[in-house]
Amino acid sequence: MTAVTTETVKEKPSIYVEDLVIDFALDSALFNKQYMRAVNEVSFILKAGEALAVVGESGSGKSTCARALCRLYEPTSGKVWLQDVDINEKKNQLSQRDYAKEVQMIFQDPFGSLNTVHSIRHHLARPLKIHHPDLKSDEIERRVIELIERVGLSPAKQTADKYPHELSGGQRQRVAIARALAVGANFILADEPISMLDVSIRLGILNLMEDMKKDGIGFLYITHDIATARYFAERTAVMYVGHMVEWGNSDSVTQNPQHPYTQLLISAVPEPGIRKHRKEMARKADIPLWKPDSKGCPFAERCLNAIDKCKVSMPPVSQLAEDHFVRCYLY
Ligand SMILES: Nc1ncnc2c1ncn2[C@@H]1O[C@H](COP(=O)(O)OP(=O)(O)OP(=O)(O)O)[C@@H](O)[C@H]1O
Ligand SMILES: [Mg+2]
């Protein structure tokens, strides 16, 4: 187990991810099938009432991690625990319905996750009926209205009567959040929840999720944007080609980035009013296709500071501060 999960104090509801590995087949051969490793030895803790941002460029394995936490993918190896229950252990008999009650996912495109033929009322009443079968219809209606108000949509009654196409992208994302609240989830896996929204309304959605943290909900916040990670999430994990290369307290990771890949990501963030003199931060090289037998640090080919051993063995985890870790031979 890597350093991030060695804290064993289970004071709050938490999801523990321990050395998660996910391989995908590259072909359909019966023998000598080739695999790619989308996620390699990833470990983290997601706590109720806090947000963990997962940052990295396209293809770094962020969504694959989230899907494994939703039980859409079974780990090739490693474990995911909801408190002290291994979510993939058959003998635990944790039904998908019971698990979904705890862990919900919201997506980049809320339109895709809402059904065009159903009203907003239907979208919110359905999970209430499924997860609280004893609720009477007037109580369901009261809760639907309460949820719509909770996510900042008004007037609530008129919103309940609308259909997804009658709402804006931001309003639809608020409905998707309300649906996760209707289920009663303690954890929300938010896969780039604001990246398709107009810049002017992104902050509103982040602030709504911030309020939900105060109600005890834990977020896995997947983003390309390290600036919003720092704004919203207490902790940040930087991923590159399926590997967590740097993680810890968001202020530390973003203000004092140590891994050359994190430094590259931060240098790409535009600062208003400042035209940066672009310093070369990485070599031009293809992003590697990681395989189960690949060796070394995945960033080695692009890293300006790489030394010989970076290409042959995976750097161990180094602790830089109380809550700041890096996998890099420079430390
Ligand atoms: N179901 C699948 N079958 C095969 N390969 C997959 C599957 N899902 C993801 N991959 C591969 O795994 C790698 C990681 O993909 P993933 O979608 O997790 O990246 P990501 O970090 O979410 O990227 P993006 O920012 O573009 O959403 C990619 O190389 C992708 O092609
Ligand atoms: Mg993704």
Which of 31-35, 209-213, 249-253 is predicted with the least confidence, judged by mean pLDDT?
31-35
Which residue's CA is the closest to the ligand 1 atom numbered 26?
Answer: 58
Is 298 near ligand 1, meaning CB less than 6 Å away? Answer: no
CA distance 320 to 226: 20
CB-side exposure of 10: number of CA atoms within 13 Å? 9
Task: Give pLDDT tens digits for 111-165.
Answer: 888 999 999 999 999 999 998 899 999 999 999 999 999 999 999 999 999 999 9
Ligand in closest contact with the CA of 60: 1
Is 164 near ligand 1, meaning CB less than 6 Å away? Answer: no
CA distance 13 to 220: 14
Which of 68-77, 83-92, 229-238 is predicted with the least confidence, judged by mean pLDDT?
83-92
At residue 310, the pLDDT reads 96
Instruction: Map out the domains of the chain with their CATH numbers.
Output: 3-112+185-197+208-269+278-327 (3.40.50.300)
At residue 278, the pLDDT reads 63
Helices 120-131 & 137-150, crossing angle to 10 degrees?
120
Q: What is the average per-residue pLDDT within 218-241?
A: 96
Is 258 near ligand 1, meaning CB less than 6 Å away? Answer: no
The answer to whether residue 274 scores a pLDDT higher than 70 is no
pTM above 0.85, yes or no: yes
Interval between CA 8 and ligand 1 midpoint (Å): 31
Residue 269, CA distances (Å) to 86, 198, 224, 253, 294 in order? 38, 18, 10, 14, 30
Residue pair 151/123 in contact (Cβ under 8 Å)? The answer is: no
Is 152 near ligand 1, meaning CB less than 6 Å away? Answer: no
Does 278 or 44 have the greater pLDDT score?
44
Interval between CA 161 and ligand 1 midpoint (Å): 37
Categorize the per-residue pLDDT at 194 as very low, low, confident or very high, splitting at 50, 70 and 90: very high
Task: Give pLDDT tens digits for 285-325.
Answer: 788 999 999 999 999 999 999 999 999 999 999 999 999 99
Is 24 near ligand 1, meaning CB less than 6 Å away? Answer: yes
At residue 6, the pLDDT reads 39
Ligand in closest contact with the CA of 39: 1
| Mean pLDDT of all residues belonging to the chain | 91
Task: Give pLDDT tens digits for 157-189.
Answer: 999 999 999 999 999 999 999 999 999 999 999
Is 63 near ligand 1, meaning CB less than 6 Å away? Answer: yes
